[in-house]
Structure formats: structure tokens, C-alpha cells
């Protein structure tokens, strides 16, 4: 009798495990795994323009460490850009799903020291199942203002772009294509009537094609500038 119950328990446990695995594959559970640490090709550093500051990479943690960067800074939105405005604008270009994985960048505007901003960013698909992939962007500005300001640029934010694949479940999880994702955002916004200056500024973050863990680098080193028109 007890053997019979023991066998039943084993079978039920196996069945439950199989069901959970199948559900995970079909529904797509977030892995929760942080991205692997990646090393910037060059020394990562910050731009300081009359005290307004941002970096040419974003970081895995709130640590200014070039051996633990995530992606190259590849886009800058200017004129009327603040965090909410850019995100709601990009919602209209296919980036409606939020990401749960924050990355970080030290930023500074006006007076005071640099502060870390964090952003999970937004994607075309919140968590791509095995065989699927999505573009993903993150944007940064000081949390106290949600924008940086300079008379040459107006209100601006900076961001990174890339692709994510096979994240839910993370079987063959991979991240790549920062340059392609930058160009896609530029294409879509240009088609939508936005003023786009492609590869406008040298951010000194050129990354030749190379695979580093689950991170595949490929970046031109030039950031694209996108004007956000008067929203009134």
C-alpha cells in the first residue's frame, strides 16, 4: 500500500514537473537572470559638456566599471525629450512592452553631483520565447528632472539599443545587434516624420563583431540624434 502511494507520489511529482516545464515554454516565464557581464572594447568614460554628463555605455550595476557594461550609448533624443515623452513616443513605433531588467548610467544635469539612473527600457515583445527575438532600448536622465538640458540641445536624454533572443525560458538566451536596433528606431521615426541625424556624433564606442558570452558586440561608435518636435 505504502509502495503504491510512494509510486503514485513519484508519478505525480514527475507529471507536475513536466507540466511546469511545458507551461514555462508555452507561456514564457521571465528568467530573472541578469545579463552576463560584458567588457567594453575601449575604456568607457563620460562626456562632460559644461557640467552636463552622461556615459558612452550603460552599466550592469551602479558601478563605474568598464568590465561590467551592458551596451554602447547609441541614441540621443533632443529638443523636447524627457523620459516619459520619449517612451510614450516610442510606444507608437512598436516598443510598447516594458522590460524588468534594469541597467544603469551615471548622469548629471545642472548643479550637484552625478547620480545613477536606472531603466528597464521597453521592447517589442516583453519576453521573447524560444525562437523569438525583440529589439530593446533603455534611456537615461537624472531622476530628479527626467531630462538633461543644454542650450545647444534643448531637453535631452540618451539611450542604448540592442536585440534580445530566447529569453523565456532562457534556453539559448542571447543579446546582440545594438547597431541594427539603433538604425531600426531611426528608420521608424524618420518614416514617422521625425528629424533624424544618423550616426551624428562619435561616442568612441565602436565595437567590432565579437561574441562575449551571451553578448554579441557590433556597434559603429556613432550615435544617432533624433529631434522631438514641439509637443504643444
Partner 1 sequence: MTWSRHRLARFALVALFVVPSGVAIAGGPASADSTRWTVGAMATRERTLTGDRPQFSRRWTVTAADVAPWFTTRLKMRITFANDAPADGNARVIAAINDNPAALITLRTQLDGTRVFYDGYLSGPVTTVTKDDSITVDYENYPREGSVRPGINAFKVALQDNDGLVERVEIDPASGFAATTIAPDQLSIALPKELTAEVGEQFILPYEVSSRAERADRPLSVLVEKAGGPLELDRDHDEFSTTGAKRSGQFTGTAAEPGRYELRVAANGGYNPAAGTVVIDVKPASRRGPGLAAVVGAIALVAVAVLLFTGGRRRAERRRT
Among 63, 92, 98, 210, binds partner 1 (CB under 8 A): 63
Can you list the positions of beta strands (E) in 95-153? Answer: 97-98, 103-107, 115-119, 122-123, 133-140, 148-150
- Dihedral of CA 48/52/57/62: which sign? positive
| 91 lies in the binding site for partner 1 (CB under 8 A) | no
Does 191 engage in binding with partner 1 (CB under 8 A)?
A: no
**Size, binding site for partner 1 by CB under 8 A:** 51
| CA-angle at 37, arms to 48 and 28, nearest 5° | 115
44: cell is: 568607457
Minimum distance between the CB of residue 23 and partner 1, rounded to whole angstroms?
Answer: 32
Torsion of Cα atoms, 128 then 130 then 135 then 138, to 10°: 60
CA distance 188 to 170: 29
Q: Select from 19-27, 40-48, 117-125, 160-168 the region that touches partner 1 (CB under 8 A).
A: 40-48
For residue 146, state whether it binds partner 1 (rule: CB under 8 A): yes
Rg (CA), the chain: 21
Least distance in angstroms from the C-beta of 48 to partner 1: 5
- Of 153, 170, 180, 194, which one interacts with partner 1 (CB under 8 A)? 153
Rule CB under 8 A: is residue 193 a binding residue for partner 1? no
Interaction of residue 163 with partner 1, rule CB under 8 A? no
Q: Which stretch binds partner 1 (CB under 8 A): 6-14, 108-116, 131-139, 211-219?
A: 108-116
Cα separation, 68 vs 62, in Å, equals 10
Q: Does 225 bind partner 1 (CB under 8 A)?
A: yes
Q: Where are the alpha helices (DSSP H) in 27-93?
A: 83-91
> Where along the sequence are the contacts to partner 1 (CB under 8 A)?
43, 45, 47-53, 56, 63-65, 78-80, 82, 84-85, 108-114, 142, 144-155, 195, 197, 200-202, 204, 225, 227, 229-232
Amino acid at each position: 500500500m505504502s509502495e503504491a502511494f510512494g509510486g503514485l507520489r513519484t508519478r505525480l511529482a514527475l507529471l507536475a514537473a513536466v507540466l511546469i516545464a511545458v507551461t514555462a515554454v508555452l507561456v514564457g516565464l521571465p528568467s530573472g537572470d541578469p545579463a552576463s557581464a560584458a567588457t567594453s572594447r575601449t575604456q568607457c568614460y563620460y562626456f562632460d559638456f559644461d557640467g552636463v554628463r552622461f556615459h558612452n555605455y550603460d552599466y550592469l550595476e551602479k558601478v563605474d566599471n568598464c568590465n561590467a557594461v551592458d551596451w554602447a550609448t547609441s541614441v540621443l533624443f533632443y529638443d523636447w525629450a524627457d523620459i516619459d515623452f520619449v517612451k510614450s513616443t516610442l510606444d507608437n513605433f512598436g516598443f510598447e512592452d516594458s522590460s524588468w531588467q534594469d541597467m544603469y548610467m551615471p548622469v548629471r544635469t545642472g548643479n550637484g553631483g552625478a547620480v545613477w539612473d536606472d531603466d528597464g527600457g521597453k521592447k517589442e515583445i516583453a519576453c521573447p520565447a524560444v525562437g523569438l527575438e525583440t529589439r530593446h532600448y533603455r534611456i537615461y536622465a537624472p531622476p530628479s528632472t527626467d531630462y538633461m538640458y543644454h542650450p545647444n540641445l534643448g531637453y535631452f536624454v540618451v539611450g542604448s539599443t540592442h536585440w534580445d533572443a530566447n529569453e523565456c525560458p532562457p534556453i539559448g538566451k542571447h543579446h546582440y545587434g545594438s547597431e541594427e536596433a539603433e538604425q531600426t528606431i531611426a528608420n521608424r521615426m524618420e518614416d514617422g516624420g521625425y528629424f533624424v541625424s544618423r550616426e551624428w556624433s562619435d561616442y568612441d564606442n565602436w565595437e567590432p563583431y565579437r561574441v562575449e558570452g551571451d553578448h554579441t558586440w557590433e556597434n559603429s561608435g556613432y550615435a544617432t540624434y533624433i529631434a522631438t518636435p514641439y509637443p504643444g
